[in-house]
Amino acid sequence: MILIDCARLLRARFDRALDDARLGLTAGEARALVYVCRHPGSRQSVLATHMWVEPMTLVGFLDRLEARGLVVREPDPADRRAKIVRPTPQAEPLALQVLEAFRTERESAMADLSAEEIVLLKDMLGRLRNRMIADDRGGAGQ
């Protein structure tokens, strides 16, 4: 339960940081914007997989980002049924503000941990995530 509690508390901190920054983005929209900027030209389905959200959830975020002129969606030349998502020039500065707000909150949340403890925590959480991904895909341990 402690991992779930920490995740919820951190998410609440991120929500407050976005509100305080007055960026006009929900946490989901902010996260989608960052992923679009990190993976420009990706299919919507690929972005949803990276974000661990359902494709229809991502569509709602992208609809609102597109309405604000932050992303564009265009048909994939390899498969016209699929959509490619690209950030607009206005997206990158906003994504950087989102990342800065998240960084500030993350650092504040981990202020009582030493640099070595942070490295260890990140390593352990990464291994936990990889184990769960492998288990979900029928990998090791099955």
Q: What pLDDT sits at residue 139?
A: 55
Q: Could you read off the pLDDT of 32-71 as tens digits, one per residue?
A: 999 999 999 999 999 999 998 999 999 999 999 999 999 9
Q: Assess contact for 29 and 66: CB atoms under 8 A.
A: no
Q: What pLDDT sits at residue 71?
A: 98
Q: What pLDDT sits at residue 6?
A: 93
* Cα–Cα distance measured from residue 124 to residue 103, given in angstroms and rounded to the nearest whole number: 20
Q: Could you read off the pLDDT of 84-108 as tens digits, one per residue?
A: 999 999 999 999 999 999 999 999 9
Q: What pLDDT sits at residue 141?
A: 46
Averaged pLDDT of the chain: 93
Q: How many CB atoms lie within 10 A of CB 102?
A: 20
**What pTM, to 2 d.p., does this model score?**
0.84
Q: Give me the amino acid identity at 76.
A: D
Q: What is the 3-state secondary structure (H, E, C) of 96-120?
A: HHHHHHHHHHHHHHCCCCCHHHHHH
